[in-house]
Structure 1
Amino acid sequence: MDKLRDGWFSEECDMWPGQKFSLAVKEVIHHEKSKYQDILIFQSETYGRVLVLDGIIQCTERDEFSYQEPIAHIPLFSHPNPKKVLVVGGGDGGVLREVAKHSTVEEIHLCEIDECVIELSKKYLPQLSVGFSNPKVKVHMQDGNVFLNNHKDQFDVIITDSSDPIGPAKCLFERPYYEKIEGALKADGIMCAQGQCLWLDLDVLQEVVLVTKSIFPVVAYAQSSVPTYPTGTIGYLLASKNKDTVFERPLRTLTEQEAEDMNLQYYDSSVHVASFELPRFARKALGIRGIRHKC
């Protein structure tokens, strides 16, 4: 609450010194400290309701789809036949909502450590938490690291929808976690993790990409535009146990009608391809080639 002053919420953090992002606040809807983190939900003047964890914006009603859709659909459209999906984090339900749109998916497991995030999202963020109402979904209130230990070779796709690498999410950016993901994936399994920001976290990403490359034969990095995230962009770290995976080309191409039927507002097949077009500095720093164009 100390970041609310004179009718404005300002996101300030040591991870991005020298800058801050502010939203005009119409009304504070809810504030509490859970066992794990500080949770704030407020009604903004221009971005609808906003979910804030430990002082950092997680999602807003206006632009949430520009994060939820890529983190779900890029890995799912890169897998030949995804049936069993695990989401680590994602207590607001938005990733569940998107994963459930895939007809091939039979089971969706969500592992979330903070029950308060789920309950408050169900109460105050219905457009996101609708994901929990899907009969394919099973919720596990557990630390993702512990959950993965007990689920070897079980999932086609694992999506890590984490907050930034501080507090309870810090362990989700370290080698032991990625090793556990590799063990929990089936032989052709794919992972996708929230990949921070190229402009602010390049040193962190260099280390994470090196670690991931030492575990998986195929690693890629994509990004999307999310106005209320620091610098307006967010990345997605992808890896596959199948050496023949080409993330930059979706295995299933959507028609315009199919995209409409899925109620997609950001993702489509052309955006899938374009999300891997990284600037030169990023490709060089991460050692990632970018799109494999045909000559």
Structure 2
Amino acid sequence: MSPFDLDNFSHSLIENGWFREQSDLHFPGQALQLKIKKILHYEKTQFQDVLVFQSETYGNVLVLDGIIQVSERDEFSYQEMITHLPLFSHPNPKKVLVIGGGDGGVLREVIKHQSVQQAILVEIDELVIELSKKFLPNMASSFNSPKVKVILDDGFKYLKNSSFLNESNKFDVIITDSSDPEGPAQEFFKENYFNLLYNALNKNGIVISQTSENFWLNFKFIKNLKKIALKVFPNVEFSYTCVPTYTSGQLGLLICSKDKNFNLKVPLRKLPPSDELSLFKYYNSDLHTASFVLPNWASNYLENNDNDDNNKVNYNEK
């Protein structure tokens, strides 16, 4: 009998064949459930709790510390937006750094850009890479590219210990594809981390980070994160993408540029529509701009320094 036989498998977030993602910290009062077809792998590493299962409707699913990272059915909506928003906003991205993202999905999108000469991935947990190659091959195919270099290290420590005094060592784009702000990943949401990002970028460099939240959940966290980023970067914008397996079906993205004159909301480079259709499932140049457009109440809350309680919004107002 397999140690991962569903009928005999015990996990605190699995009951009666259903996986339940629940976090009172990030999304109080609600949860997300997926029906499991088969448990593929479960292991506790020195860094995190790693679960991979085959779902009934979303393909294979990667879960870290109880939080869904990707599913085969909808992963592209996240990978494409967190990658192509900054890369198409940059005039000529040649060197790209990805912090986290051991599943390989962001790397897959990065190397679609012909201008990119090198993509460096810094991932702390080698098991995530190994399991992704086995169970998420469409995403992990990027690891075979000669443009890709993998460094097994903590992303925060990598930036802190690396020397970026020489311009040739710096990056054009940095993508933070981190876990949620718990445990070691908390460092990716602090001012010191944004300072490290700033120092590792070329003069017209761009960074993007997942915010862990969206405007239907802890919008106050996003507002505070934007304030932190603005202490370091002169140009900061909030965008979002729609991902069904992320609770509330949406995830925020914070994009920052060292160049205050960059209009991050409009792609600096565009592909012909036919190329967009062949290369991307989700991203296109129109959606690039549209992803920065927020509902009135959300835009007002994010930009209004006097209003710090998004929970007072009356959603039933006509």
Q: TM-score range by the shorter chain?
A: over 0.9
Q: Distance in 1 between matches of 2:298 and 2:163?
A: 34
- Mapping for residues 61-210 of structure 1, pairs under 5 Å: 61-149=72-160, 150-152=162-164, 153=167, 154-195=170-211, 196-210=213-227
2:40 corresponds to 1:29? yes
Q: Which residue in 2 is equivalent to 1:292?
A: none
Q: Secondary structure at the match of 1:265?
A: coil
Cα deviation, 1:151-195, whole Å, max 9, x if unaligned, reads 425000000001111123111111111110000001100000012
Q: Secondary structure at the match of 1:46?
A: coil
Deviation of residue 209 (structure 1)? 0.4
Deviation of residue 208 (structure 1)? 0.9
Q: Which residue in 1 is equivalent to 2:8?
A: none
Give 1:48's match in structure 2, choosing from 35, 55, 59.
59
Percent of pairs identical after alignment?
50
Unpaired runs of at least 5, structure 2: 1-10, 305-318
Cα deviation, 1:104-125, whole Å, max 9, x if unaligned, reads 0001000111111111111111
Q: Distance in 2 between matches of 1:119 and 1:253?
A: 34
Q: Distance in 2 between matches of 1:40 and 1:222?
A: 29
Cα RMSD of the aligned pairs, angstroms, is 1.1
2:235 corresponds to 1:235? no
What one-letter code is carried by the residue in structure 2 that aligns with 1:13?
A: S
Cα deviation, 1:32-60, whole Å, max 9, x if unaligned, reads 00110000000000000000000110000
Cα deviation, 1:36-89, whole Å, max 9, x if unaligned, reads 000000000000000000011000000000000000000000001100000000
Q: Distance in 1 between matches of 2:192 and 2:277?
A: 40
Give 2:290's match in structure 1, choosing from 256, 274, 277.
274
What TM-score do the two structures reach when normalised by structure 1?
A: 0.95
Q: Across the two proteins, how many residue pairs are aligned to each other?
A: 287
What one-letter code is carried by the residue in structure 2 that aligns with 1:38?
A: D
Q: Secondary structure at the match of 1:62?
A: coil
Q: Secondary structure at the match of 1:96?
A: helix
Give 2:234's match in structure 1, choosing from 210, 217, 234.
217
Q: Which residue in 1 is equivalent to 2:4?
A: none
What one-letter code is carried by the residue in structure 2 that aligns with 1:180?
A: L
Q: Which residue in 1 is equivalent to 2:273?
A: 256
Give 2:15's match in structure 1, choosing from 5, 8, 22.
5
Q: Distance in 2 between matches of 1:285 and 1:87?
A: 30
What one-letter code is carried by the residue in structure 2 that aligns with 1:106?
A: Q
What one-letter code is carried by the residue in structure 2 that aligns with 1:12?
A: Q
Deviation of residue 16 (structure 1)? 1.1
Q: Secondary structure at the match of 1:77?
A: helix
Deviation of residue 221 (structure 1)? 0.8
Q: Which residue in 2 is equivalent to 1:291?
A: none
Cα deviation, 1:246-271, whole Å, max 9, x if unaligned, reads 01110112212211332x10001111
Q: Distance in 2 between matches of 1:260 and 1:286?
A: 33
What one-letter code is carried by the residue in structure 2 that aligns with 1:52?
A: V
Q: Which residue in 1 is equivalent to 2:27?
A: 16
Cα deviation, 1:209-240, whole Å, max 9, x if unaligned, reads 00111111111011111001010001110000
Q: Secondary structure at the match of 1:211?
A: helix
Q: Distance in 2 between matches of 1:210 and 1:267?
A: 27
Unpaired runs of at least 5, structure 1: 289-295
Q: Which residue in 1 is equivalent to 2:312?
A: none
Task: Choose 1 or 2 for highest CA Rg.
Answer: 2
Q: Secondary structure at the match of 1:18?
A: coil
What TM-score do the two structures reach when normalised by structure 2?
A: 0.88
Q: Secondary structure at the match of 1:206?
A: helix
Q: Secondary structure at the match of 1:24?
A: strand
